[in-house]
Structure 1
Amino acid sequence: MSEVITTEAGPIVGVLALQGDVREHAAVLTALGATVVAVRRLSELEQVQALVIPGGESTTIDKLLRAFDLRDPVIAAIDAGLPVLGSCAGMVLLARDIVGGIEGQQTLGGIPMTVRRNAFGRQVDSAEVALTWEPDGSDMHATFIRAPWVEAYDAGVEVLATVAGRDEDAQGSHAVAVRYGNCIATAFHPEISGDHRVHQLLLDVVASRRD
C-alpha cells in the first residue's frame, strides 16, 4: 500500500521519496489542500496528478531512480504532460544538460535548459536572497543551499526569477526559477521559506489540466 501523508481531499501530488526534503514538501502541499503520496514505486507514480522532485543530492537521486526502476517511467510521465516541480537537485534532474556534473550523471530532461550544478557552492553554502517573483512582480525571499542556476535555456522557457552573478567570473544574471509547459524548476528551496507561491503554481497547473 502507498504511504499517504494526508487523506484530505484535493489533488493527488506525489513527492519523490528516494532522498532529500520529502517531508518539507509534503507539509506545504498538505497545507494547500493536496493529498500527498510518497513515491518510491511505479504503482505510486501511477496514482498522482503531479510530482515533486525535492532538493537533496542530484547524483544520489539519479542513481536511486535507476535502482528503483523509476527513471524511465518518470521520463514517460513528464513527456505525457504530468505537472512536475523540481527544487534545487530537482532542477538539476529536470535539465536537459548539466555543467559540473559527475561522470555518468543522467537527467530526466523535461526542460530544455543547461544547469550549472552547485553554482552557489564556491561562494556560499547557504544564503537568503531577495528575488522578484516575475508572475506577479512581488518580492520573494528564497533560500539557496549549494544551489544550481540556469546557464542557458531555449526560447520556450519562461523565467520566473533571476539572481545577479555572484563572483568575478559571473556576468549579468542567472535564472533561478523557470517554467516550461507543465514543468517548474527552482534553484532555491520553496519548501522551507514559508512562501507557498511555487507550490501553489504547481497546483494551479494541475487544476488547469482538470478544467
Structure 2
Amino acid sequence: MDVKIGVLALQGDVSEHIDAFSAALRSRGCGKASSVVEVRRPADLAGCAALAIPGGESTTISRLIDKNGLYEPIRTFPGGIFATCAGMVLMATDVADPRVHTLGLMDMTVDRNAFGRQRESFEADIPVAGLPDGGPFHAIFIRAPVVTAAGSGVHVLATLDQGIVAAEKGRYLALAFHPELGGDLRLHERFLQNLGI
C-alpha cells in the first residue's frame, strides 16, 4: 500500500519528522511509492493520510497557519494528526495565551512551557500506554507543554507529576515530547497502525 504523510513545514523540526515517518512507513511495509511531504499551503494536504505538526514555537506556528490559509483545512482534515510539543498546544481547546489560535481538535487544556525555559529541557524513560512491548519510551522534553485537564473522548497515554504528556483522541495523537528525535519509532508505528496503515 502506498501512503502519503504530510509534515507541517512552517517552523520547527520538520526534517526530523520527515525522517522518522519515512522510516516508520518502511518498517510498516508500505509501498515504495509511499512518501512524506512538506505541507505549506492547503493544496499540499491533498492525498495525505496523516499530518504531523512538529515542535517549534506555538505562537509562531499558529500565526503562520493563519497567514497561509491552513487553519480550516487542518481543522477539517480527514486524516490522522500526529502532534508533538508545540503541536500539542495547537491541538488543544484551551491555552492560556491569546497569541495562540488553537485548532481545538482535542478537548484539553494545555500549559505552554510547563517545565520552564530551554535550560530546563530533559530526557526521561516513561511508560506509555498501548506500546506493543510495554517497555518505557525514552522521551525528550524541550520547553515542553503539559495537558492540565482532558475532556470527553481524550484518552491519557502518559503522565508525569506536572501533568499529561501523551494523549489520544480517535485519529489524533498529541505528545508533549519529541519522539522524532530519539530513534524509537514505536509511537509513529502505533499511530500509523491505528489509521489502518
Per the normalisation by structure 1, the TM-score is 0.84
What is aligned with 1:164? 161
**What SS class does the counterpart of residue 48 from structure 1 fall into?**
coil
- Contact 1:85/1:185 (<8 A) preserved: yes
Q: What amino acid maps onto 1:22 in structure 2? A: V
Q: What amino acid maps onto 2:65 in structure 1? A: L
Paired positions, count: 187
What is aligned with 2:122? 127
Q: What amino acid maps onto 2:17 in structure 1? A: H
What is aligned with 1:105? 100
Unpaired runs of at least 5, structure 2:
26-33
- Contact 1:11/1:203 (<8 A) preserved: no
- Contact 1:116/1:148 (<8 A) preserved: yes
Greater relative contact order (Cα 8 A, min sep 6): structure 1 or 2?
A: 2
> Aligned equivalents of 1:110 and 1:22: distance in 2?
21
What is aligned with 2:83? 86
> Aligned equivalents of 1:64 and 1:22: distance in 2?
14
**What SS class does the counterpart of residue 138 from structure 1 fall into?**
coil
What is aligned with 1:37? 37
- Contact 1:95/1:112 (<8 A) preserved: yes
CA deviations on 1:55-106 (whole Å, 9 max, x unpaired) are: 00000000001111111111111xxx4200100000000011013x2x3421
> Aligned equivalents of 1:10 and 1:195: distance in 2?
23
- Contact 2:59/2:99 (<8 A) preserved: no
In angstroms, what is the RMSD of aligned CA positions?
A: 1.6
What is aligned with 1:187? 176
The runs of 4+ residues in structure 1 deviating greater than 4 Å are none
> Aligned equivalents of 1:104 and 1:129: distance in 2?
30
CA deviations on 1:92-132 (whole Å, 9 max, x unpaired) are: 00011013x2x342101111000000001159531001100
- Cα pair distance change 1:72/1:188, threshold 3 Å: same
Percent identity (aligned):
45
What is aligned with 1:26? 18
What is aligned with 1:64? 64
Q: What amino acid maps onto 1:65 in structure 2? A: I
Q: What amino acid maps onto 1:180 in structure 2? A: K
- Contact 1:83/1:205 (<8 A) preserved: no
**What SS class does the counterpart of residue 100 from structure 2 fall into?**
coil
2:5 matches 1:13: yes
* Deviation of the 1:192 alpha carbon: 0.2
> Aligned equivalents of 1:104 and 1:16: distance in 2?
19
2:197 matches 1:205: no
> Aligned equivalents of 1:123 and 1:38: distance in 2?
27
Unpaired runs of at least 5, structure 1:
1-8, 166-173
Q: What amino acid maps onto 2:49 in structure 1? A: Q
Per the normalisation by structure 2, the TM-score is 0.89
- Cα pair distance change 1:181/1:73, threshold 3 Å: same
